[in-house]
Homo-oligomer: A and B are copies of this chain.
Amino acid sequence: MNLQKLKARALSDPQVKAEYDNLEDEFKLINQLLSMRAQAGLTQEQLAKRMHTSKSNISRLERGNTNPSWATLVKYAHACGFELSLTPHKA
């Protein structure tokens, strides 16, 4: 019983699988955010100013303590000098 099998067994539970997938998506999202800010070379505070909000809110976003709206994501991206596209791909 190694880790791989433990993981496999856990993920065979639909409930667990659903939560895992949500985490996956959330991580991907957060990484995109961090990546954009890094490429822009901005601190949370600088980004916050450009988004007309405060740095604590940026932190919340990047910590995954919230479920950002599309508008918020677009604002974040714009503040970092990016446009955003939603790209669906076959599961």
- A: residues with CB less than 8 A from B are 21-22, 25-26, 28-29, 32, 35-36, 67-71, 73-74, 77-78, 80-91
Whole-angstrom distance between the Cβ of A42 and the nearest chain B Cβ: 14
Whether the Cβ atoms of B67 and A69 lie closer than 8 Å is yes
In whole angstroms, how far apart are the Cα atoms of A22 and B70 in the complex? Answer: 10
In whole angstroms, how far apart are the Cα atoms of A82 and B25 in the complex? Answer: 12
In whole angstroms, how far apart are the Cα atoms of A1 and B68 in the complex? Answer: 42
Additional A-B contacts beyond A69-B70, A84-B88, A85-B88 (20; CB < 8 A)? A22-B71, A22-B74, A25-B74, A28-B85, A29-B86, A32-B86, A32-B88, A35-B88, A67-B69, A67-B70, A68-B70, A73-B86, A77-B88, A82-B89, A84-B86, A84-B87, A85-B86, A85-B89, A86-B86, A87-B87
